[in-house]
Structure 1
């Protein structure tokens, strides 16, 4: 994703986050956005979309709220996936209305023990134990303290291999799949001097055990975040 598109995406996410917080509606990061929060404290540098998940019982409220935000709009062709975007962005390829970049908003159903995306046929990785998700935790995502599943590290290590950086298999801007032979798998350590990555260290802070997460490019610390146990 270019810096310009990433800036637009972050602006859109900030607006979404503020709106959901104002109306006390809960969401959490999923898919590549969840991995980005864990591994980069922000976007996966080469990613070109953003995914969040919300309770299906809130979909009508979410739709009504997002429709009322000046300068932004939401495309809700069905009740399973919404696309939220800035109205000044470019039209998505072959679309008369949807603009790119956008945030994908998925909705989940739940029972006593599990939650799963209504689009489980498309997002089969969004099938999670509720005890692994709630109560939600938070991690820095660029300049936003974003909600994430409670067992963020365990989920990321179960679903992904965080030490392996994998390029996109779908290009959102042009709407085409990338052939498997052009999808790169690289040890993330080879990219540490190029992109921001998060490094973790245990510490005692004011007599409390903590994990300090440092966001760094090479040896340069960009920011840090402490998690107390």
Structure 2
């Protein structure tokens, strides 16, 4: 087991360096490239709404904060909470600081750090969020992050992790989208959720963005809320694009 842990950490460190290089180059155009279009804005509006509803206010940490796309809205939603955004990449943190200053965010701290080696004491945070990140790592390495998150979480606190869902669009995305298919080993398959439940305390599971979700908001707004609520139900959530898993300590 010790040898496996060393091997996993070695693989994780190599991936850290790869992603650090690529995201450093992409940071200045990251938001513009991904989230200025209609579908990109809808994605993060929907994700942020769900995350804010699940967050336990107080002392909040957003790991892999990037340009602050989750941390900044959280600090605006909960101005009496302290929010920390942490990222491995200097350039991403620089972009987040520019954005936070532009939006007048005052209750937010932005720091450089590694999510597997958090620079915080045990039992520090009421909520730890991590969005658009776990899909970069194999399942075993995802759990290295989770273990560290648990160390820093207060008793009764929550960890909110977003996973890619292999069953999105009834599994058709795996056939249609090569990029989606390349990451299938890192997705939250049902048996992996069972493995997580055996090891950690899972409080809640929510789906985010069903097939045709944006089209329904555009053209059938009268049923949009009803359609959105379907992501809460067991059957329908498993056809969502993303799965939010809420862990508890």
TM-score (structure 1 length as normaliser):
0.27
Task: Determine which structure has the larger strand proportion and give its number.
Answer: 1
TM-score (structure 2 length as normaliser):
0.26
Task: Determine which structure has the larger helix proportion and give its number.
Answer: 2
